[in-house]
Structure 1
Amino acid sequence: MAKAERILPADFTCVLYEVRDHVAIVTINRPERRNALNRRAYDEVEAAFRAASADPDVRCVVVTGADPAFCSGEDVKEMMTGEQRDKSVARLTAVRPEPTPAAVAALECDRPVIAAVNGAAVGWGMELTLFADIRIASEQARFGEIFIKRGLISDVGGLWRLPAIVGPAKAAELLFTGDVIDASEALRIGLVSEVVPHEKLMESALALAGRIAVNAPLALRYMKDGLRRTSYGDLREIGSWVSATLGRLFETEDHREGVRSFLEKRAPEFKGR
Protein backbone atom coordinates (compact mmCIF):
# COMPACT_ATOMS: atom_id res chain seq x y z
CA MET A 1 0.00 0.00 0.00
CA ALA A 2 1.20 3.54 -0.71
CA LYS A 3 2.58 5.64 2.06
CA ALA A 4 -0.03 7.61 3.97
CA GLU A 5 1.03 10.99 2.56
CA ARG A 6 0.25 9.73 -0.97
CA ILE A 7 -3.28 8.64 -0.12
CA LEU A 8 -5.80 11.21 -1.32
CA PRO A 9 -9.32 11.67 0.09
CA ALA A 10 -10.75 10.37 -3.18
CA ASP A 11 -9.06 7.03 -2.42
CA PHE A 12 -10.33 6.70 1.15
CA THR A 13 -12.11 3.48 2.11
CA CYS A 14 -12.16 3.77 5.92
CA VAL A 15 -12.67 7.52 6.36
CA LEU A 16 -15.22 9.96 4.95
CA TYR A 17 -13.84 13.42 4.14
CA GLU A 18 -15.70 16.51 3.03
CA VAL A 19 -15.22 20.27 3.20
CA ARG A 20 -18.28 22.37 3.89
CA ASP A 21 -18.29 26.14 4.52
CA HIS A 22 -14.54 26.17 5.33
CA VAL A 23 -14.91 23.21 7.71
CA ALA A 24 -13.31 19.82 6.98
CA ILE A 25 -15.39 16.95 8.37
CA VAL A 26 -13.40 13.77 9.02
CA THR A 27 -15.52 10.71 9.84
CA ILE A 28 -14.00 7.34 10.69
CA ASN A 29 -16.26 4.95 8.79
CA ARG A 30 -15.85 1.34 9.95
CA PRO A 31 -19.11 1.08 11.93
CA GLU A 32 -19.19 -2.71 11.65
CA ARG A 33 -15.95 -2.71 13.70
CA ARG A 34 -17.05 0.18 15.93
CA ASN A 35 -14.58 2.29 13.95
CA ALA A 36 -11.59 0.32 15.21
CA LEU A 37 -8.45 1.28 13.33
CA ASN A 38 -6.54 -1.09 11.08
CA ARG A 39 -3.44 -0.04 9.17
CA ARG A 40 -5.41 1.44 6.29
CA ALA A 41 -7.63 3.43 8.66
CA TYR A 42 -4.61 4.84 10.50
CA ASP A 43 -3.10 5.92 7.19
CA GLU A 44 -6.33 7.56 6.08
CA VAL A 45 -6.72 9.46 9.35
CA GLU A 46 -3.19 10.76 8.84
CA ALA A 47 -3.91 11.67 5.22
CA ALA A 48 -7.17 13.44 6.17
CA PHE A 49 -5.40 15.76 8.60
CA ARG A 50 -2.61 16.38 6.11
CA ALA A 51 -5.21 17.24 3.46
CA ALA A 52 -6.97 19.67 5.81
CA SER A 53 -3.67 21.34 6.69
CA ALA A 54 -2.77 21.75 3.02
CA ASP A 55 -6.13 23.13 1.87
CA PRO A 56 -6.34 26.95 2.02
CA ASP A 57 -10.13 26.70 2.04
CA VAL A 58 -10.14 24.79 5.36
CA ARG A 59 -10.27 26.93 8.50
CA CYS A 60 -11.47 24.36 11.05
CA VAL A 61 -11.70 20.56 11.30
CA VAL A 62 -14.39 18.40 12.93
CA VAL A 63 -13.50 14.74 13.55
CA THR A 64 -16.13 12.17 14.45
CA GLY A 65 -17.11 8.53 13.92
CA ALA A 66 -19.93 6.76 12.13
CA ASP A 67 -22.50 5.64 14.71
CA PRO A 68 -22.59 3.78 17.04
CA ALA A 69 -19.00 4.59 18.12
CA PHE A 70 -16.47 7.39 17.83
CA CYS A 71 -13.50 5.00 17.68
CA SER A 72 -12.97 1.84 19.70
CA GLY A 73 -9.19 2.01 19.36
CA GLU A 74 -7.02 -0.38 17.41
CA ASP A 75 -8.53 -3.35 15.64
CA VAL A 76 -6.90 -5.81 18.05
CA LYS A 77 -7.28 -8.85 15.83
CA GLU A 78 -5.68 -7.13 12.83
CA MET A 79 -3.10 -4.90 14.53
CA MET A 80 -1.89 -6.91 17.54
CA THR A 81 -1.56 -10.36 16.01
CA GLY A 82 0.24 -11.88 13.02
CA GLU A 83 2.16 -10.03 10.33
CA GLN A 84 0.86 -6.57 11.18
CA ARG A 85 2.04 -6.95 14.79
CA ASP A 86 5.52 -7.84 13.53
CA LYS A 87 5.56 -4.74 11.31
CA SER A 88 4.52 -2.56 14.25
CA VAL A 89 7.26 -3.99 16.45
CA ALA A 90 9.83 -3.38 13.70
CA ARG A 91 8.78 0.27 13.44
CA LEU A 92 8.73 0.78 17.20
CA THR A 93 12.14 -0.80 17.80
CA ALA A 94 14.03 1.32 15.28
CA VAL A 95 17.10 3.17 16.58
CA ARG A 96 15.05 6.34 17.14
CA PRO A 97 11.42 5.46 16.44
CA GLU A 98 9.11 8.17 15.18
CA PRO A 99 5.82 8.98 16.93
CA THR A 100 2.64 7.47 15.49
CA PRO A 101 2.25 9.20 12.10
CA ALA A 102 -1.50 9.71 12.46
CA ALA A 103 -0.97 11.31 15.87
CA VAL A 104 1.65 13.67 14.47
CA ALA A 105 -0.62 14.66 11.58
CA ALA A 106 -3.51 15.42 13.94
CA LEU A 107 -1.37 17.32 16.43
CA GLU A 108 0.51 19.27 13.77
CA CYS A 109 -2.68 20.25 11.96
CA ASP A 110 -2.57 24.03 12.19
CA ARG A 111 -6.34 24.47 11.96
CA PRO A 112 -8.50 24.32 15.09
CA VAL A 113 -9.78 20.76 15.59
CA ILE A 114 -13.08 19.83 17.26
CA ALA A 115 -13.79 16.22 18.27
CA ALA A 116 -17.52 15.44 18.06
CA VAL A 117 -17.60 12.35 20.26
CA ASN A 118 -20.71 10.37 19.40
CA GLY A 119 -20.04 7.12 21.28
CA ALA A 120 -17.22 5.01 22.65
CA ALA A 121 -13.81 6.68 22.42
CA VAL A 122 -11.42 4.19 23.97
CA GLY A 123 -7.77 3.33 23.50
CA TRP A 124 -6.48 5.19 20.46
CA GLY A 125 -10.00 6.52 20.00
CA MET A 126 -9.63 8.51 23.21
CA GLU A 127 -6.17 9.55 22.05
CA LEU A 128 -7.75 11.01 18.92
CA THR A 129 -10.13 13.10 21.04
CA LEU A 130 -7.13 14.39 23.00
CA PHE A 131 -5.41 15.51 19.80
CA ALA A 132 -8.34 17.88 19.24
CA ASP A 133 -8.40 21.39 20.67
CA ILE A 134 -12.04 21.12 21.79
CA ARG A 135 -14.20 18.10 22.60
CA ILE A 136 -18.02 18.06 22.43
CA ALA A 137 -19.71 14.87 23.59
CA SER A 138 -23.00 13.18 22.87
CA GLU A 139 -24.76 11.91 25.96
CA GLN A 140 -23.85 8.44 24.61
CA ALA A 141 -20.10 9.13 24.64
CA ARG A 142 -17.70 7.02 26.70
CA PHE A 143 -13.98 7.61 27.24
CA GLY A 144 -11.24 5.22 28.33
CA GLU A 145 -7.45 5.05 28.25
CA ILE A 146 -7.56 1.24 28.27
CA PHE A 147 -3.94 0.62 27.21
CA ILE A 148 -2.98 -0.69 30.65
CA LYS A 149 -5.49 -3.52 30.10
CA ARG A 150 -3.41 -4.63 27.10
CA GLY A 151 -0.07 -4.38 28.93
CA LEU A 152 0.83 -1.19 27.05
CA ILE A 153 1.18 2.56 27.62
CA SER A 154 -0.93 5.23 25.95
CA ASP A 155 0.16 7.22 22.94
CA VAL A 156 1.18 10.88 23.23
CA GLY A 157 -2.41 11.99 23.86
CA GLY A 158 -2.63 10.38 27.28
CA LEU A 159 0.89 11.21 28.41
CA TRP A 160 1.36 14.61 26.76
CA ARG A 161 -2.11 16.16 26.49
CA LEU A 162 -4.35 14.56 29.11
CA PRO A 163 -2.51 15.91 32.21
CA ALA A 164 -2.78 19.45 30.87
CA ILE A 165 -6.51 19.02 30.21
CA VAL A 166 -7.76 17.27 33.37
CA GLY A 167 -4.80 17.71 35.73
CA PRO A 168 -1.96 15.29 36.56
CA ALA A 169 -3.76 13.36 39.33
CA LYS A 170 -6.94 12.67 37.33
CA ALA A 171 -4.85 11.80 34.27
CA ALA A 172 -2.83 9.35 36.37
CA GLU A 173 -6.04 7.76 37.67
CA LEU A 174 -7.44 7.27 34.17
CA LEU A 175 -4.15 5.94 32.80
CA PHE A 176 -3.33 3.64 35.74
CA THR A 177 -6.81 2.11 36.06
CA GLY A 178 -7.96 1.99 32.44
CA ASP A 179 -11.41 2.97 33.72
CA VAL A 180 -14.05 3.97 31.18
CA ILE A 181 -16.02 7.10 32.10
CA ASP A 182 -19.31 8.43 30.76
CA ALA A 183 -20.07 11.80 29.23
CA SER A 184 -21.24 13.42 32.47
CA GLU A 185 -18.01 12.49 34.25
CA ALA A 186 -16.00 13.71 31.27
CA LEU A 187 -17.77 17.05 31.56
CA ARG A 188 -17.22 17.20 35.32
CA ILE A 189 -13.44 16.73 35.02
CA GLY A 190 -13.10 19.13 32.10
CA LEU A 191 -12.30 16.52 29.46
CA VAL A 192 -15.16 17.82 27.31
CA SER A 193 -16.56 21.32 27.14
CA GLU A 194 -20.17 20.37 26.44
CA VAL A 195 -22.52 17.38 26.47
CA VAL A 196 -25.46 17.52 24.08
CA PRO A 197 -28.29 15.17 23.05
CA HIS A 198 -27.00 12.57 20.61
CA GLU A 199 -29.09 13.82 17.71
CA LYS A 200 -27.80 17.38 18.21
CA LEU A 201 -24.08 16.50 18.32
CA MET A 202 -23.02 17.31 14.76
CA GLU A 203 -25.27 20.35 14.68
CA SER A 204 -23.55 21.69 17.81
CA ALA A 205 -20.04 20.82 16.60
CA LEU A 206 -20.59 22.41 13.19
CA ALA A 207 -22.13 25.51 14.76
CA LEU A 208 -19.01 25.97 16.88
CA ALA A 209 -16.79 25.26 13.88
CA GLY A 210 -18.70 27.93 11.94
CA ARG A 211 -18.15 30.50 14.70
CA ILE A 212 -14.43 29.71 14.52
CA ALA A 213 -14.21 29.62 10.71
CA VAL A 214 -15.52 33.17 10.22
CA ASN A 215 -12.40 34.53 11.92
CA ALA A 216 -9.10 35.52 10.30
CA PRO A 217 -7.50 32.27 9.04
CA LEU A 218 -3.86 33.25 9.58
CA ALA A 219 -4.53 34.60 13.07
CA LEU A 220 -6.38 31.36 13.91
CA ARG A 221 -3.32 29.31 12.96
CA TYR A 222 -0.99 31.46 15.03
CA MET A 223 -3.42 31.39 17.94
CA LYS A 224 -3.38 27.59 17.85
CA ASP A 225 0.40 27.53 17.62
CA GLY A 226 0.66 29.83 20.62
CA LEU A 227 -1.61 27.60 22.71
CA ARG A 228 0.40 24.54 21.76
CA ARG A 229 3.70 26.18 22.70
CA THR A 230 2.50 27.37 26.09
CA SER A 231 0.32 24.42 27.15
CA TYR A 232 2.21 21.27 26.18
CA GLY A 233 5.82 20.78 25.12
CA ASP A 234 7.86 18.91 22.55
CA LEU A 235 5.65 16.44 20.69
CA ARG A 236 8.40 14.57 18.88
CA GLU A 237 10.58 14.02 21.96
CA ILE A 238 7.79 12.44 24.02
CA GLY A 239 6.47 10.68 20.91
CA SER A 240 9.80 9.00 20.25
CA TRP A 241 9.97 7.82 23.89
CA VAL A 242 6.42 6.46 23.66
CA SER A 243 7.22 4.53 20.48
CA ALA A 244 10.43 3.06 21.91
CA THR A 245 8.64 2.02 25.11
CA LEU A 246 5.78 0.44 23.18
CA GLY A 247 8.36 -1.49 21.17
CA ARG A 248 9.63 -3.07 24.41
CA LEU A 249 6.16 -3.70 25.80
CA PHE A 250 4.96 -5.41 22.62
CA GLU A 251 7.52 -8.14 23.38
CA THR A 252 6.28 -8.86 26.91
CA GLU A 253 4.21 -11.81 28.08
CA ASP A 254 1.80 -9.39 29.75
CA HIS A 255 0.98 -7.73 26.43
CA ARG A 256 0.37 -11.08 24.78
CA GLU A 257 -1.93 -12.00 27.68
CA GLY A 258 -3.76 -8.69 27.30
CA VAL A 259 -4.45 -9.45 23.65
CA ARG A 260 -5.44 -13.09 24.31
CA SER A 261 -7.80 -12.13 27.10
CA PHE A 262 -9.50 -9.51 24.91
CA LEU A 263 -9.99 -11.95 22.05
CA GLU A 264 -11.20 -14.63 24.47
CA LYS A 265 -13.50 -12.16 26.27
CA ARG A 266 -12.10 -12.74 29.75
CA ALA A 267 -10.21 -10.81 32.42
CA PRO A 268 -6.41 -10.78 31.90
CA GLU A 269 -4.02 -12.43 34.34
CA PHE A 270 -0.80 -10.42 34.28
CA LYS A 271 2.53 -11.83 35.54
CA GLY A 272 4.82 -8.80 35.38
CA ARG A 273 7.02 -10.20 32.64
Structure 2
Amino acid sequence: MVLQFTKENGVATLKFNRPDKYNSFNQEMAFAVQKALDDCKDDDSVRVIVLTGEGKAFCAGQDLAEATDPNGPPLKNIVGEHYNPIVMRLREIEKPIIAAVNGVAAGAGANLALACDIVVAKKSAAFIQAFAAIGLIPDSGGTFFLPRLVGAQKALALMMTGDKVLAEEAEAMNMIYKAIADEDFDAYIEKMASKMAKMPTRGYGLTKKAVNASFNNSLKEQLDVEEKLQAEAGSTEDFKEGTQAFLEKRKPEFKGR
Protein backbone atom coordinates (compact mmCIF):
# COMPACT_ATOMS: atom_id res chain seq x y z
CA MET A 1 0.00 0.00 0.00
CA VAL A 2 1.82 3.12 -1.25
CA LEU A 3 -0.70 5.48 0.37
CA GLN A 4 -2.41 5.23 3.74
CA PHE A 5 -5.81 6.90 3.45
CA THR A 6 -7.99 7.31 6.52
CA LYS A 7 -11.01 9.38 7.55
CA GLU A 8 -11.96 10.18 11.13
CA ASN A 9 -14.11 12.90 12.68
CA GLY A 10 -14.14 15.03 9.55
CA VAL A 11 -10.39 14.73 8.95
CA ALA A 12 -9.04 12.82 5.94
CA THR A 13 -5.35 11.89 6.21
CA LEU A 14 -3.26 10.98 3.16
CA LYS A 15 0.04 9.50 4.29
CA PHE A 16 2.70 8.75 1.68
CA ASN A 17 3.79 5.20 2.42
CA ARG A 18 7.06 4.29 0.76
CA PRO A 19 9.31 4.91 3.78
CA ASP A 20 12.14 2.74 2.47
CA LYS A 21 12.30 5.13 -0.53
CA TYR A 22 11.81 8.28 1.58
CA ASN A 23 8.25 8.36 0.21
CA SER A 24 9.47 9.21 -3.28
CA PHE A 25 6.71 9.22 -5.88
CA ASN A 26 6.13 6.57 -8.48
CA GLN A 27 3.20 6.23 -10.84
CA GLU A 28 1.24 4.03 -8.45
CA MET A 29 1.48 6.52 -5.60
CA ALA A 30 0.67 9.49 -7.83
CA PHE A 31 -2.53 7.89 -9.07
CA ALA A 32 -3.44 6.77 -5.54
CA VAL A 33 -3.11 10.36 -4.28
CA GLN A 34 -5.23 11.66 -7.16
CA LYS A 35 -7.94 9.11 -6.39
CA ALA A 36 -7.91 9.85 -2.67
CA LEU A 37 -8.18 13.61 -3.28
CA ASP A 38 -11.15 13.02 -5.58
CA ASP A 39 -12.75 10.96 -2.81
CA CYS A 40 -12.17 13.79 -0.33
CA LYS A 41 -13.67 16.34 -2.70
CA ASP A 42 -16.87 14.35 -3.14
CA ASP A 43 -17.31 13.24 0.49
CA ASP A 44 -19.23 15.86 2.48
CA SER A 45 -18.13 14.23 5.73
CA VAL A 46 -14.54 15.29 4.97
CA ARG A 47 -14.04 18.82 6.31
CA VAL A 48 -10.23 19.06 6.23
CA ILE A 49 -7.43 17.13 4.49
CA VAL A 50 -3.97 16.40 5.90
CA LEU A 51 -1.00 15.32 3.74
CA THR A 52 1.95 13.74 5.53
CA GLY A 53 4.56 11.00 5.21
CA GLU A 54 5.30 7.68 6.89
CA GLY A 55 8.67 7.30 8.56
CA LYS A 56 11.49 9.84 8.55
CA ALA A 57 10.62 11.73 5.35
CA PHE A 58 7.67 13.70 4.07
CA CYS A 59 8.49 13.08 0.41
CA ALA A 60 11.78 13.01 -1.47
CA GLY A 61 10.16 13.83 -4.81
CA GLN A 62 10.28 11.62 -7.86
CA ASP A 63 11.60 8.06 -7.68
CA LEU A 64 14.52 8.40 -10.09
CA ALA A 65 14.61 4.67 -10.73
CA GLU A 66 11.23 5.04 -12.44
CA ALA A 67 12.19 8.28 -14.19
CA THR A 68 15.32 6.72 -15.73
CA ASP A 69 13.75 3.37 -16.60
CA PRO A 70 13.70 3.10 -20.43
CA ASN A 71 10.41 1.23 -20.09
CA GLY A 72 8.95 3.71 -17.64
CA PRO A 73 6.95 6.89 -18.24
CA PRO A 74 8.87 9.80 -19.83
CA LEU A 75 9.41 12.97 -17.81
CA LYS A 76 6.72 14.83 -19.75
CA ASN A 77 4.15 12.23 -18.67
CA ILE A 78 5.44 12.14 -15.09
CA VAL A 79 4.94 15.90 -14.77
CA GLY A 80 1.76 16.14 -16.84
CA GLU A 81 -0.04 13.01 -15.63
CA HIS A 82 1.34 12.44 -12.12
CA TYR A 83 2.12 15.80 -10.48
CA ASN A 84 0.15 18.47 -12.31
CA PRO A 85 -3.22 16.80 -11.64
CA ILE A 86 -2.34 16.58 -7.94
CA VAL A 87 -1.39 20.26 -7.76
CA MET A 88 -4.62 21.29 -9.47
CA ARG A 89 -6.66 19.18 -7.06
CA LEU A 90 -4.86 20.70 -4.07
CA ARG A 91 -5.77 24.19 -5.24
CA GLU A 92 -9.28 23.50 -6.54
CA ILE A 93 -10.74 21.36 -3.74
CA GLU A 94 -12.83 23.79 -1.69
CA LYS A 95 -11.70 22.38 1.64
CA PRO A 96 -8.64 23.31 3.71
CA ILE A 97 -5.55 21.19 3.04
CA ILE A 98 -2.72 21.00 5.57
CA ALA A 99 0.75 19.75 4.64
CA ALA A 100 2.12 18.16 7.81
CA VAL A 101 5.79 17.98 6.87
CA ASN A 102 7.25 15.37 9.19
CA GLY A 103 10.70 15.16 7.59
CA VAL A 104 12.65 16.10 4.49
CA ALA A 105 10.58 17.49 1.60
CA ALA A 106 12.69 17.53 -1.55
CA GLY A 107 12.04 18.22 -5.22
CA ALA A 108 8.42 17.59 -6.12
CA GLY A 109 7.80 16.67 -2.49
CA ALA A 110 8.70 20.18 -1.37
CA ASN A 111 6.56 21.79 -4.05
CA LEU A 112 3.51 19.62 -3.40
CA ALA A 113 3.73 20.75 0.23
CA LEU A 114 3.90 24.40 -0.85
CA ALA A 115 0.81 23.91 -3.03
CA CYS A 116 -1.24 23.10 0.07
CA ASP A 117 -3.17 25.78 1.95
CA ILE A 118 -1.19 25.59 5.19
CA VAL A 119 2.27 24.08 5.70
CA VAL A 120 3.36 23.03 9.20
CA ALA A 121 6.72 21.30 9.63
CA LYS A 122 8.73 19.62 12.33
CA LYS A 123 11.71 21.74 13.34
CA SER A 124 13.94 18.88 12.18
CA ALA A 125 12.35 18.89 8.71
CA ALA A 126 13.95 20.54 5.68
CA PHE A 127 12.91 21.76 2.24
CA ILE A 128 15.19 21.26 -0.76
CA GLN A 129 14.76 22.34 -4.37
CA ALA A 130 16.74 19.35 -5.60
CA PHE A 131 16.17 19.74 -9.34
CA ALA A 132 19.32 21.63 -10.41
CA ALA A 133 21.55 18.85 -9.09
CA ILE A 134 20.26 16.57 -11.86
CA GLY A 135 19.84 19.21 -14.57
CA LEU A 136 16.07 19.70 -14.27
CA ILE A 137 13.80 22.64 -13.50
CA PRO A 138 11.47 22.85 -10.49
CA ASP A 139 8.08 21.37 -11.29
CA SER A 140 4.89 20.52 -9.38
CA GLY A 141 4.08 24.22 -9.17
CA GLY A 142 7.44 25.18 -7.68
CA THR A 143 8.08 28.03 -10.11
CA PHE A 144 4.60 29.37 -9.32
CA PHE A 145 4.30 29.07 -5.54
CA LEU A 146 7.84 29.56 -4.25
CA PRO A 147 8.45 33.03 -5.82
CA ARG A 148 5.09 34.20 -4.50
CA LEU A 149 5.97 33.00 -1.01
CA VAL A 150 9.57 34.21 -0.67
CA GLY A 151 10.18 36.56 -3.61
CA ALA A 152 11.73 35.93 -7.01
CA GLN A 153 15.39 36.43 -6.07
CA LYS A 154 15.34 34.15 -3.04
CA ALA A 155 13.30 31.56 -4.93
CA LEU A 156 15.78 31.53 -7.81
CA ALA A 157 18.69 31.25 -5.39
CA LEU A 158 17.09 28.25 -3.66
CA MET A 159 16.30 26.66 -7.02
CA MET A 160 19.78 27.21 -8.45
CA THR A 161 21.83 26.32 -5.36
CA GLY A 162 19.66 23.52 -4.04
CA ASP A 163 20.39 24.79 -0.53
CA LYS A 164 18.67 22.97 2.31
CA VAL A 165 16.19 25.17 4.18
CA LEU A 166 15.46 24.02 7.72
CA ALA A 167 11.91 24.44 8.97
CA GLU A 168 12.60 27.40 11.28
CA GLU A 169 14.33 29.26 8.44
CA ALA A 170 11.44 28.37 6.13
CA GLU A 171 9.02 29.92 8.63
CA ALA A 172 11.18 33.04 8.94
CA MET A 173 11.16 33.59 5.17
CA ASN A 174 7.38 33.01 4.94
CA MET A 175 7.78 29.77 2.99
CA ILE A 176 5.67 27.91 5.55
CA TYR A 177 3.19 28.77 8.29
CA LYS A 178 4.92 27.25 11.34
CA ALA A 179 7.84 25.13 12.50
CA ILE A 180 6.89 22.99 15.48
CA ALA A 181 9.11 21.13 17.95
CA ASP A 182 9.31 17.50 16.92
CA GLU A 183 7.87 16.22 20.19
CA ASP A 184 4.83 18.52 19.85
CA PHE A 185 4.25 18.06 16.13
CA ASP A 186 1.68 15.24 16.07
CA ALA A 187 -0.44 16.83 18.79
CA TYR A 188 -0.30 20.21 17.04
CA ILE A 189 -1.46 18.76 13.71
CA GLU A 190 -4.23 16.78 15.39
CA LYS A 191 -5.46 19.87 17.26
CA MET A 192 -5.34 22.08 14.15
CA ALA A 193 -7.13 19.56 11.92
CA SER A 194 -9.75 18.82 14.58
CA LYS A 195 -10.45 22.52 15.04
CA MET A 196 -10.73 23.17 11.30
CA ALA A 197 -13.02 20.15 10.84
CA LYS A 198 -15.53 21.89 13.09
CA MET A 199 -15.37 25.25 11.32
CA PRO A 200 -17.50 26.57 8.40
CA THR A 201 -16.19 24.47 5.51
CA ARG A 202 -18.03 26.37 2.79
CA GLY A 203 -16.58 29.64 4.05
CA TYR A 204 -13.11 28.09 4.01
CA GLY A 205 -13.65 26.88 0.45
CA LEU A 206 -14.82 30.27 -0.76
CA THR A 207 -11.87 31.96 0.99
CA LYS A 208 -9.52 29.61 -0.84
CA LYS A 209 -11.30 30.36 -4.12
CA ALA A 210 -10.85 34.09 -3.55
CA VAL A 211 -7.14 33.78 -2.76
CA ASN A 212 -6.61 31.63 -5.86
CA ALA A 213 -8.29 34.30 -7.99
CA SER A 214 -6.15 37.07 -6.48
CA PHE A 215 -2.98 35.76 -8.17
CA ASN A 216 -4.14 37.09 -11.53
CA ASN A 217 -6.61 39.86 -10.69
CA SER A 218 -6.41 43.62 -10.50
CA LEU A 219 -7.71 45.24 -7.31
CA LYS A 220 -11.05 46.05 -8.97
CA GLU A 221 -11.39 42.49 -10.26
CA GLN A 222 -10.58 41.10 -6.84
CA LEU A 223 -13.10 43.36 -5.13
CA ASP A 224 -15.71 42.03 -7.53
CA VAL A 225 -14.70 38.46 -6.66
CA GLU A 226 -15.03 39.25 -2.94
CA GLU A 227 -18.47 40.79 -3.50
CA LYS A 228 -19.70 37.72 -5.37
CA LEU A 229 -18.23 35.15 -3.00
CA GLN A 230 -19.33 37.04 0.12
CA ALA A 231 -22.91 36.91 -1.16
CA GLU A 232 -22.50 33.18 -1.65
CA ALA A 233 -21.03 32.75 1.84
CA GLY A 234 -23.91 34.76 3.28
CA SER A 235 -26.40 32.26 1.90
CA THR A 236 -24.85 29.25 3.70
CA GLU A 237 -26.29 27.45 6.70
CA ASP A 238 -23.01 28.05 8.52
CA PHE A 239 -23.39 31.83 8.21
CA LYS A 240 -26.89 31.63 9.66
CA GLU A 241 -25.63 29.44 12.51
CA GLY A 242 -22.60 31.65 13.16
CA THR A 243 -24.62 34.85 13.40
CA GLN A 244 -27.34 33.22 15.47
CA ALA A 245 -24.76 31.80 17.87
CA PHE A 246 -23.13 35.22 18.19
CA LEU A 247 -26.45 36.87 19.03
CA GLU A 248 -27.31 34.11 21.52
CA LYS A 249 -23.81 34.28 23.04
CA ARG A 250 -23.13 30.57 22.52
CA LYS A 251 -20.58 28.47 20.65
CA PRO A 252 -21.63 27.82 17.03
CA GLU A 253 -22.15 24.31 15.72
CA PHE A 254 -21.10 24.48 12.11
CA LYS A 255 -22.15 21.70 9.70
CA GLY A 256 -19.96 22.61 6.74
CA ARG A 257 -22.96 23.59 4.63
Could you tell me the TM-score, scaled by structure 1's length? 0.74
Counterpart in 2 of 1:222? 206
* Percent identity of paired positions between Structure 1 and Structure 2: 30
CA apart distance, 1:103 = 2.2
Distance 2:78 2:96 in 1: 29
Structure 1 residues 112 and 188, CA gap change in structure 2 (3 angstroms): same
CA contact (8 A) 1:39 1:79 kept: no
CA apart distance, 1:156 = 4.1
Counterpart in 2 of 1:47? 35
| Structure 1 gap segments, 5+ residues each | 1-12, 234-273
Counterpart in 2 of 1:150? 134
1:88 maps to 2:66: no
Counterpart in 1 of 2:161? 177
1:59 maps to 2:47: yes
Deviations 1:204-233 (A, max 9, x none): 122112222222222111111111111368
Higher Cα Rg: structure 1 or 2?
A: 2
Distance 2:155 2:107 in 1: 14
Counterpart in 1 of 2:170? 186
Map 1:244-259 to 2 at 5 A: none
CA contact (8 A) 1:28 1:35 kept: yes
Counterpart in 1 of 2:120? 136
Aligned mate of 2:66, from 75, 78, 97: 78
The residue type equivalent to 2:134 in the other structure is: R
Distance 2:167 2:214 in 1: 28
Deviations 1:224-261 (A, max 9, x none): 1111111368xxxxxxxxxxxxxxxxxxxxxxxxxxxx
Say which is worse superposed, 203-212 or 37-46, in terms of deviation: 203-212
SS in 1 for 2:88: helix
Structure 1 residues 50 and 125, CA gap change in structure 2 (3 angstroms): same
Counterpart in 1 of 2:188? 204
Distance 2:196 2:150 in 1: 24
Distance 1:189 1:70 in 2: 20
- After TM superposition, the runs of 4+ consecutive aligned structure 1 residues lying more than 3 A away are 89-93
CA RMSD of aligned residues (A): 2.0
1:126 maps to 2:110: yes
Say which is worse superposed, 99-108 or 110-119, in terms of deviation: 99-108
More relative contact order, 1 or 2 (CA 8 Å, 6+ apart): 1
Map 1:233-244 to 2 at 5 A: none
Structure 1 residues 71 and 89, CA gap change in structure 2 (3 angstroms): closer
Distance 1:92 1:38 in 2: 9
Distance 1:140 1:121 in 2: 11
CA apart distance, 1:168 = 1.7
Distance 1:24 1:74 in 2: 24
CA contact (8 A) 1:46 1:103 kept: no
Counterpart in 2 of 1:16? 4
Deviations 1:95-126 (A, max 9, x none): xx677222222232221111111111000110
Distance 2:102 2:75 in 1: 32
Deviations 1:175-206 (A, max 9, x none): 12121211121111111221112232222122
CA contact (8 A) 2:91 2:212 kept: no
Distance 1:207 1:121 in 2: 23
CA apart distance, 1:25 = 0.7
The residue type equivalent to 2:42 in the other structure is: A
The residue type equivalent to 1:14 in the other structure is: V
The residue type equivalent to 2:31 in the other structure is: D
CA contact (8 A) 1:22 1:59 kept: yes
CA apart distance, 1:73 = 0.7
